[in-house]
Amino acid sequence: MGFHYELRFAGVGGQGSLTAGTILAHAAVFHTNYYATQVPTYTSQVRGGAAKADIIISDTPIVFAESTNVDFFLATHQKAYNAYKGDLKSSADVLVDSGLVTVPAEDKNLYKIYEYPLVKVAKYEIGNVVTMNILAVGICVGLTHVLDVNAVRETVKEEVPQRFLDMNMKAFDMGLEIGEKFKKEG
Amino acid sequence: MGRIAFLNANAAVAEAALVAGLGFYAGYPITPSSEVPERLSKIMPEKGLPFMMMEDEIASINACVGATSSGVKAMTCTSGPGFSLKQEALGMACMLEVPLVVVNVMRGGPSTGLPTRPSQQDVMQARWGTHGDHPIIALSPCNAQEAIFETIRAFNLAEKFRQPVVLLTDGSLSHLHTKVYIPDPEEVEIVDRTQPDIDPDNYYPYDYNYEVPPLAKWWADDGKSYRYHLSSLIHDKTGFPTVNPKYTQWLLERMYKKISDNLDEILKYEYYKMDDAETCIVAYGSTAEAARVAIDQAREEGVKVGMFRPLTLWPSPEEQIKDIASKVKNVIVAEMNLGQYLLEVERVVGGKVPVYGVNQAAGVLIRPSQIYDKIKNPSKRAEIGLTDEELKRFGGGE
């Protein structure tokens, strides 16, 4: 098998996990010429229920699109962390919001855990909590380099609402830097 | 040239309907089908096409029956509970013999069941949900790209045979985003209903001289105006009610024959690695993709297994299944229900070879591993492919 990478973005409804997943998949399909799938799972609650998007990026067509071997896991809520950590690869990269998710000690031995106050930084440093998901996409790309940085940056530009464009680009670039830093520190 | 897009199967169905020439949509939103009307509600008004958000499921399909009777291509879209409500009008559409596409994005049932979870529990309802002897066509695509082509095919079959066509997808496929190609209308075959070549004075909507009588548009492009009657009562060639036994029997038999005489055109199916297969998996929709992965895995170990995948579920591909039964040692039907298409396969196989089922109505996709286990050990029950740890995430049950 050639290139095959599975990501899972999990949070609660309203946090933007599904949009973040769509952005990565778009970047893979339209700017990188990979195959990609995005499968959302959510409950009947519009806001507050655990929601996740599984994204598979591959250089061959994807037949069965449920993630069973997750390489990168983003969790922005404790409920989502607990519910969706089941399919992680051993030593998967896990990014959590340090203010909202407490990672159990035993998981710290299983996975590479990166903790960052996503919501706090989005709200107070970038200026709007809605940029949290783009900040997370930035960190994800900076850390994993699963896709070309410019491909993702172009997609963010295309996909976010125009009135929040500057703010989201700032979030993305800030995320990239943090991700690169995480990578260096291992 | 068409265009590449990254869409879920619901949006793909909406785009494909427009390629096929959709002229009228009426619907009532229901999870997990709502992305179909959501997308159409943006595009149709821009194109000057009527999109109607109706007061309920029943009104939706009735509006569509009215619209298609007048001469435009109509579609409505729903999920299990709404499909139940639509059955009466679906029967009327069969009886009036009007072209209509009904999309059913199957979710877990019965009743309101599992709104956000996939199932394939409406396969028998698609066939026999409405009362009385009636023919039906039901199609089941397995991915978003195929959903595009099958939606176009659904419209074409509906137009060609004056027949309601049910497109069955499921709650998982409907939300699976993938890269798809949306063709231009010029790139695909688009069928429009045949128009009469006789004067309005001599036109009958159920003319005895045809297997599929032409259905005249209410307005005619050349200025001729056809006025005629359609009735949901048993009718003669004029469209007015009759109780004459001869014409009653003739009408029902003709409605069946217009389907059974044209199976070559209506049936569509795929053979996957069936050449030397000793075990045949019969699967359709999302489940077929899991079967494909399982078959590839078993093949690597030298197991002679393949898949027969009907894209047309109804009418069922009887001859093809019979032929398979004469060549393989056993048949396994995998589906997200407790054994519905299994009944049809068993009927057609007629006891020639053992028929086993992988039947899961748990609101989760059948996993490749479950089908793989079944290939290895057909008589053993295929358990839900989830560990205790994984089951915890769903909550409840304690």
Averaged pLDDT for residues B245-274: 97
Indicate whether B243 belongs to any domain: no
Cα separation of B356 and B370, whole Å? 13
User: Residue B280 maps to which CATH number?
Assistant: 3.40.50.920
Query: Nearest Cβ partner of A43 from B116, B177, B289?
Result: B116
pLDDT of residue A48: 72
How many structural domains is chain B composed of? 2
| B69 lies in the same domain as B180 | yes
Split at pLDDT 50, 70, 90, the class of A186 is confident
Cα separation of B310 and B123, whole Å? 12
Split at pLDDT 50, 70, 90, the class of A49 is confident
Indicate whether B21 belongs to any domain: yes
Percent residues over pLDDT 70 in chain B: 99
Indicate whether B206 belongs to any domain: no
Split at pLDDT 50, 70, 90, the class of B394 is confident
pLDDT of residue B398: 66
Indicate whether B218 belongs to any domain: no
pLDDT digits 0-9 by tens, B137-157: 999 999 999 999 999 999 999
Cα separation of B160 and B315, whole Å? 16
| B148 lies in the same domain as B39 | yes
Does the pLDDT of residue A45 top 70, yes or no?
Answer: no
CA angle in degrees (0–180, nearest 5) for B99-B100-B103: 155
Residue with tokens 């009777």: B69
What values do phi and psi take at A96, rounded to 5?
Answer: -125, 155
* DSSP calls for B130-143: SSSS---EEE--SS
Question: Among B109, B144, B134, which Cα is nearest to B123's?
Answer: B109
**Averaged pLDDT of chain A:** 92
pLDDT of residue B390: 74
Write down all domains in chain A, each with its CATH number in brackets: 4-185 (3.40.920.10)
| B165 lies in the same domain as B35 | yes
> Which chain B residues contact residue A84 at CB under 8 A?
393
Averaged pLDDT for residues B248-254: 97
pLDDT of residue A119: 95
Chain B closest CA to A73's CA: distance in Å? 16
| B22 lies in the same domain as B169 | yes
- Ramachandran class of B73: left when φ > 0, alpha when ψ lies in -120 to 50, beta otherwise: beta
Chain B closest CA to A121's CA: distance in Å? 29
Averaged pLDDT for residues B111-135: 96
Split at pLDDT 50, 70, 90, the class of A126 is very high
Domain extent, residue B274, equals 269-392
B290 at interface of A, judged by CB pairs closer than 8 A: yes
A168 at interface of B, judged by CB pairs closer than 8 A: no
Indicate whether B292 belongs to any domain: yes
* Sequence letter at residue B124: M
The separation between CA B277 and the C-alpha centre of its own chain, rounded to angstroms, equals: 28
| Predicted complex ipTM | 0.84
Indicate whether B128 belongs to any domain: yes
Could you tell me which residues are beta bridge partners of residue A57?
Answer: A5, A36
Cα separation of B9 and B170, whole Å? 9
Could you tell me which residues are beta bridge partners of residue B305?
Answer: B279
pLDDT of residue B114: 94
pLDDT digits 0-9 by tens, B157-181: 999 999 999 999 999 999 999 999 9
pLDDT of residue B302: 97
| Among candidate residues B159, B187, B215, the one where a domain is terminated | B187
Does the pLDDT of residue A89 top 90, yes or no?
Answer: yes
* Sequence letter at residue B8: N
Indicate whether B253 belongs to any domain: no
> Which chain B residues contact residue A63 at CB under 8 A?
289, 292-293
Split at pLDDT 50, 70, 90, the class of A46 is low
* Sequence letter at residue A78: Q
pLDDT of residue A14: 82
Averaged pLDDT for residues B282-286: 97
Q: Who wins on pLDDT, B111 or A15?
A: B111
pLDDT digits 0-9 by tens, B359-371: 999 999 999 999 9
Split at pLDDT 50, 70, 90, the class of B396 is confident
B367 with A40: Cβ contact below 8 A: no
What tokens does A111 get? 């996975």
Query: Which run of H or of E encompasses A174?
Result: helix A165-185
Does the pLDDT of residue A1 top 70, yes or no?
Answer: no
Q: Is the peptide bond before A104 cis (omega within 30 degrees of 0)?
A: no
Query: Nearest Cβ partner of A38 from B115, B177, B289?
Result: B177
B6 with A36: Cβ contact below 8 A: yes
pLDDT digits 0-9 by tens, A2-17: 899 999 999 988 888 8
Averaged pLDDT for residues B210-220: 90
Split at pLDDT 50, 70, 90, the class of B383 is confident
| Among candidate residues B187, B221, B237, the one where a domain is terminated | B187
| B273 lies in the same domain as B388 | yes
| Among candidate residues B163, B187, B211, the one where a domain is terminated | B187
User: How many CB pairs lie under 8 A apart between chains A and B?
Assistant: 56
pLDDT of residue A2: 87
A69 at interface of B, judged by CB pairs closer than 8 A: no
B292 with A63: Cβ contact below 8 A: yes
What values do phi and psi take at B50, rounded to 5?
Answer: -70, 125
Q: 10 Å Cβ neighbour count for A51?
A: 27
Please give the C-alpha separations between residue B90 and each of B83, B217, B267, B366, in angstroms, as whole numbers.
9, 20, 21, 30
CA angle in degrees (0–180, nearest 5) for B190-B193-B194: 115
| B120 lies in the same domain as B30 | yes
Indicate whether B252 belongs to any domain: no
| B37 lies in the same domain as B162 | yes
Question: Among A161, A174, A167, A159, which Cα is nearest to A26's?
Answer: A159
pLDDT of residue A15: 87
User: Residue B42 maps to which CATH number?
Assistant: 3.40.50.970
Does the pLDDT of residue A114 top 70, yes or no?
Answer: yes
Does the pLDDT of residue B21 top 80, yes or no?
Answer: yes
pLDDT of residue B141: 98
Averaged pLDDT for residues A124-134: 95
Averaged pLDDT for residues B182-198: 96
